[in-house]
Structure formats: C-alpha cells, structure tokens
Amino acid sequence: MSVLYSDEFLAKLQQLARDKAPEYAANQPFPHIYFDDFLPLEAAEAALRDFPEPRQLKWTEFSNQNEKKLAFDFVEKLPTSVRDVLYFMNSRPMIQFLEVLTGIKGVIPDPYYVGGGLHQIKRGGHLEVHADFNWHEQLQLDRRINVLIYMNKEWEEEYGGHFELWNHDMTRAEKKILPLFNRCAIFSTTDYSYHGHPTPLACPPDRSRKSMATYYYSNGRPEEEVSDSHTTIFLQRPDAPPAVEEENGRSGVKSFLHAVTPPFLVDAYKSIRK
C-alpha cells in the first residue's frame, strides 16, 4: 500500500484539519495556511526525483507580460511517483481534509486538472498578482480552493519565488511564503484572493521553481462571493507596468465588456453567432 494511504498519514491529515481550521479561517488577507513536511517523505522524495525537467515533456509555455512559466496538466502521462501524488490530491481522504480545514462543504476535485498539474518556473520567470478564474466550464462548478505543493530542496531566500498573498486594495503583500520542498500552501479562492509570484526568479540557471497544483470546486458558493464567470484577472501592483488579461485568448477589454453586459444580451449575441 502506498504511504499516501497509510493509517498514520491519513490520521495526520485529520488531526491537522481539526487543529488548524480556526487559524485557516482567521488568516489574512484571506483564508489560507501552509504546512511544512506535508506529504510522507518517501512520496515527496520520489516525486521530486521524477519531476520532469523542461526538456523532458511538451510543457505548455506561457511567456508574456503577466506570466513566464511552464505548465503540464496531462497527469496520466507523468511518472508514476508524480502521478500518484496528484491522484491522491483528488482522493476522498484529501477532500475530507479540505472540507474540515476550510469549512467548505461539498468539495469536488477536478479530474481534468484544468490550470493545475505541474508548474515550473525558470530563472527570470514570474507570475503577476491575480485573481483566479472562478468557473469550471466543463464541470459547471464554482472554484473554491487552491492547493500548491512545492518541490524545491535547498532553496535559498535570495532565489526568491515567494508565493505572495496581497491585500484587498492591492497596496502590499501581507504574506510571503518561500516555496520550500514539501511545503503545502492552501487558500480559498474568490474574486479578491489576490496572489502570485510577481518578482522575477533569481535562482541559479540550472535550478527551477517546481510545484504541483490541484484546484477544487463546489456546486454554488456563498451569496456574497457570487459574480459573473471570468478568466484569470491580473492586477497591477504599485510601481508595476500595467497588466493585460490574456488567459484563454480573452483580452482585458473583452473581459470587461463580458462582465458589464447583461446576461440576456450575452445569450442573444451567442444565439446570433450560432
């Protein structure tokens, strides 16, 4: 049996969720937490050992003003050790852990790993501060939780790559989390959970910032969090160049028009196009 499903590890998850739920809810600028030594060491070591290098896979490459990174979400094509971790992240024990920790009921994993899977950022890469897309088109569900597991051993502070959580008015990063090996960051996603890795990476040329990501959904969300569906919204930091929304080929102007146009006009326009 995999160490990921051992009684010891599953009991650890249950205890963590119960003990840390109040802290998760209270953390600012929005509900979040991180855990060191999250996965069983054997599983984490194996996943790092087999984590594909940029040349070993046909990664999706993002290279624009808002982001410079590599991503791969065809989980079934990954080495067994990496795939096992990502499959575990979508398993019943993990869902139960997240429901207790976050207080969100009816959590649903994403079998498509849209936007998730593996991420890798090389020297000079970055990810501007943003709010995530809020609607899974295939599943027709609301996005609620992000889980990130970092895979970077002997990572020095000066390398950068901090995961930054920004406040509501985008004046400062209230929390910066160094992406250390087997560190797991978890946070609730809303239109105001601004986060990113905006400072270009300063690691040695032969290193990269590696992470695994899984996202979680629910059928509906609290009324105060409801908004029109949107793609990733990039934000402008103080003294940073203007951000341009580009995900899925949609420009910032198009997204703005989509957000302010009444739904019945959008539906009418789609009918005409068809």
Model confidence pLDDT, tens digit, residues 220-247:
999 999 999 999 999 989 877 665 544 4
Give 260's pLDDT tier (boundaries 50, 70, 90).
Answer: very low
Q: Where are the domains of the chain?
A: 3-243, 245-274
- The mean predicted confidence, pLDDT, of the chain is 90
Tell me: pLDDT of 180 over 90: yes
Residue 19 CA to residue 4 CA, distance in Å, equals 20
**Closest by alpha carbon to 64, among 233, 266, 243, 218?**
243
Residue 226 CA to residue 60 CA, distance in Å, equals 31
pLDDT of amino acid 272: 41
Residue 69 CA to residue 60 CA, distance in Å, equals 8
pLDDT of amino acid 240: 74
Tell me: pLDDT of 154 over 80: yes
pTM over 0.85: yes
Strand partners, 148: 185, 213
CATH of 3-243, picked from 2.30.30.40, 3.30.930.10, 2.60.120.620, 3.30.420.40, is 2.60.120.620
Phi, psi dihedrals of residue 11, rounded to the nearest 5°: -65, -40
pLDDT of amino acid 244: 54
Helix (H, G, I), strand (E, B) or coil at 235: coil
Query: Which is it for strands 117-122 and 208-218: parallel, antiparallel or unpaired?
Result: antiparallel
131 vs 250, more confident: 131
Residue 68: left (phi > 0), alpha (psi -120 to 50), or beta? beta
Percentage of the chain modeled with pLDDT above 90: 86
For residue 89, the surrounding DSSP H or E stretch is: helix 80-89
pLDDT of amino acid 239: 72
Amino acid at 138: Q
The distance from CA 137 to its chain's CA centroid, rounded to whole angstroms, is: 17
pLDDT of amino acid 256: 39
- The count of residues in the chain is 274
Residue 166 CA to residue 174 CA, distance in Å, equals 6
